[in-house]
A and B are shown apart, each in its own frame.
Chain A
Amino acid sequence: MSMTGTLRMKAVCRGDKTVVADTYFDGAFKVARPVYFQENEPTVYSLHVGGGYVGGDRYHTDVVLEQGAKMTLTTQSAAKVYKTPNEPVYQSMAVSLAKGSVFLYVPDPLIAYEQARFQQETIIHMEKGATLLYSDSITPGWSKSGHPFQYEWIRSKLKIYEDGSLQMYDHLFLKPNHQQLFSLMQMEGYTHVGSLFIISPMLGQDWQKELEQILAPYEDHIRSGFSELKNSGCAIRILANASHVIEEIILQCANWMRRKLDQEPVQLRKY
């Protein structure tokens, strides 16, 4: 199966500094040169040169962080999924995190337009002692009728393994026509869904109380919940009516985590 876009990168330690080695990209995926907002730690922006995802597109990303490496991966703009009349869009990602590495994945939202079908599958293998912050948000695109949820379906799977054993499997499936998506238990009147998973030895004992404080100012605009994963990690799910609210919360959580790791706050200015 030929790929529409492929991206591979490996972050390694050179003394105190993390450098991105072995970067490879092909097709519609590109990465800009790593930006060092902080002296020792690269932020990588990936971009889609085609402007959007269309039916039959297939994308794959491979990320490896070697022992002690620290890297943030983000996107330059939202992933837009357009009409997929014949084949859905498939996107997969494989991440491997060695001990002591810190990987922040903070992509822009996925925007699914009218009649879009999109499936993504992410598999993360981490060694105990690695830090992962994985975020994701899904947004319905503008439609002629003005009604939200004109996409056909979105399936998103995320599996996290620690030392080879499955710790978390998040499986979201959103299908507007069939499931009365606005209803109780589903989107509950909201249009946007955000997810955040943090696994780190530095998360600490009091994370639930701290997180409550981060979320408190947003309570009137969102519906959110958090809980402890099997391996003591943290899962957060957010329903909202605007992308920027979810983005803001994710960024706050990223910086909350970075303080625990003695890292400076992340800046993701896009240009």
Chain B
Amino acid sequence: MINPMLSFMQLCDSNFPSGAFSHSFGLETYIYEGAIHDAATFEAAMRIFMVNQMAYTDALACRLAYEAIENGQFDGIIELDHVLLALSLSKETREGTRRIGERMAKLCSDLYESLLIDTYYQRIRQKEAKGHPSIVFALAAHHLQADKNDAIAAHLFSGVHSLIQNAVRAIPLGQTDGQRILLALQPIIQAIADQTETMTEDELGMNMPGLEIAQMRHEQLPVRLFMS
């Protein structure tokens, strides 16, 4: 058996080719407009993004997917997949998430001998599922026999990590600033992972209107580094 910690390091590495490095999920709109322009404004934005968006979408989705796998409810995973994609009102964000999800599913299906991951990837290819990174992460974590809480934290970490890498390029920030922010946000990652346990399914996918508008407006930005 592989130590799940080592596998998480692989899955969360910025070289892991999920395609997440080409998406800002609306943050580039704020960078373009100047609302995010330095380390402090970026870190403040990340805190809001994590606590309100990632917590109720990525983290809760990862938990629900992990539990569906544990309970042998593959249909539950497919249903979750549909719900998650329908929750994205912005086309770019929806398409970006779907692409990352599909690419991760393919990669993980190549890397791991897991019937569930293979089945999910097949469903995506047959257009019966769309592909969502949180679902793939839960499938991989479960296959690696990783703890659910650790899986949620690692999944959050990987999302936060790639957004910081993108901000370092786009704002731009110094590499040290990026690393300092990644360290500063780690307690929030753990707090969200813990809080996810007490969330109800009813809370899945709550959106913030301002962020949605930023994601929509990204489609019309004249200059763009990122696909969303």
Binding site for B on A (CB under 8 A): 155, 159, 165-173, 179-180, 183-188, 193, 223-230, 235, 237, 239
- The reply to whether B86 and A168 form a contact with Cβ atoms under 8 Å apart is yes
Interface mask (B190-212 → A, CB under 8 Å = 1, otherwise 0)? 00000000000001111111111
Cross-chain contact of A169 among B49, B51, B205, B213 (Cβ < 8 A)? B205
Q: List residues of chain A with CB within 8 A of the CB of B87.
A: 169-171
A103 to B179, CA, bound (A): 52
A191 to B189, CA, bound (A): 30
With an 8 A cutoff between CB atoms, is B106 at the interface?
no
A167 to B208, CA, bound (A): 19
Binding site for A on B (CB under 8 A): 30, 35-36, 44-45, 48-49, 51-53, 82-83, 85-87, 89-92, 94, 203-217, 219
Q: List residues of chain A with CB within 8 A of the CB of B213.
A: 188, 223-225, 237, 239
Cross-chain contact of B211 among A169, A185, A224, A227 (Cβ < 8 A)? A185
- The reply to whether A237 and B89 form a contact with Cβ atoms under 8 Å apart is yes
Cβ distance A230 to chain B, nearest Cβ, rounded Å: 7
Q: Tell me the nearest residue of chain B to A182, going by C-beta.
A: B210
Cβ distance A139 to chain B, nearest Cβ, rounded Å: 13
A195 to B97, CA, bound (A): 23
Among B36, B52, B53, which residue has the most Cβ atoms of chain A within 10 A? B52
- Given A166-B83, A171-B205, A173-B206; A237-B48 close (CB under 8 Å): no
Cβ distance A258 to chain B, nearest Cβ, rounded Å: 23
A173 to B205, CA, bound (A): 10
Extra inter-chain contacts (5) besides given A224-B213, A237-B216, CB under 8 Å: A159-B86, A185-B49, A186-B209, A223-B210, A235-B216
A230 to B87, CA, bound (A): 10
- Given A171-B205, A235-B89; A225-B48 close (CB under 8 Å): no
- The reply to whether B89 and A185 form a contact with Cβ atoms under 8 Å apart is no
A186 to B44, CA, bound (A): 13
A223 to B30, CA, bound (A): 13
Q: List residues of chain B with CB within 8 A of the CB of A230.
A: 85-86, 94
- The reply to whether A166 and B209 form a contact with Cβ atoms under 8 Å apart is no
- The reply to whether B45 and A185 form a contact with Cβ atoms under 8 Å apart is yes
- The reply to whether B45 and A227 form a contact with Cβ atoms under 8 Å apart is no
Q: List residues of chain A with CB within 8 A of the CB of B209.
A: 172, 186-187, 193, 237, 239
Among A173, A184, A228, which residue has the most Cβ atoms of chain B within 10 A? A184
Q: List residues of chain B with CB within 8 A of the CB of A173.
A: 203, 206-207
Q: Which 7 A-B pairs have the closest CB atoms?
A: A225-B216, A225-B213, A173-B206, A185-B211, A169-B86, A188-B210, A227-B216
Q: List residues of chain A with CB within 8 A of the CB of B217.
A: 225
- Given A172-B207, A184-B210, A224-B213; A167-B48 close (CB under 8 Å): no
Q: List residues of chain A with CB within 8 A of the CB of B89.
A: 168, 170, 227, 229, 235, 237
16 residue pairs of the A-B complex, CB under 8 angstroms, read: A170-B87, A171-B87, A171-B204, A171-B205, A171-B207, A172-B206, A173-B203, A173-B206, A183-B210, A184-B30, A184-B36, A184-B210, A186-B208, A188-B213, A223-B210, A227-B92
Q: Tell me the nearest residue of chain A to B217, going by C-beta.
A: A225
Q: Tell me the nearest residue of chain A to B94, going by C-beta.
A: A230
Cβ distance A185 to chain B, nearest Cβ, rounded Å: 4
Cβ distance B170 to chain A, nearest Cβ, rounded Å: 16
A226 to B214, CA, bound (A): 10
Cβ distance A32 to chain B, nearest Cβ, rounded Å: 32
Cβ distance B142 to chain A, nearest Cβ, rounded Å: 25
Q: List residues of chain B with CB within 8 A of the CB of A183.
A: 48, 210
Cβ distance A152 to chain B, nearest Cβ, rounded Å: 15
Among B85, B208, B211, B214, which residue has the most Cβ atoms of chain A within 10 A? B208
Cross-chain contact of B210 among A171, A187, A227, A229 (Cβ < 8 A)? A187
A183 to B210, CA, bound (A): 9
A35 to B110, CA, bound (A): 63
Q: List residues of chain B with CB within 8 A of the CB of A172.
A: 206-207, 209
- The reply to whether A185 and B86 form a contact with Cβ atoms under 8 Å apart is no
A179 to B30, CA, bound (A): 19
Q: Tell me the nearest residue of chain B to A174, going by C-beta.
A: B209
A173 to B211, CA, bound (A): 13
Q: List residues of chain B with CB within 8 A of the CB of A180.
A: 48
- Given A227-B219, A237-B216; A169-B48 close (CB under 8 Å): no
- The reply to whether A186 and B219 form a contact with Cβ atoms under 8 Å apart is no
Cβ distance B54 to chain A, nearest Cβ, rounded Å: 12
Q: List residues of chain A with CB within 8 A of the CB of B83.
A: 166, 169
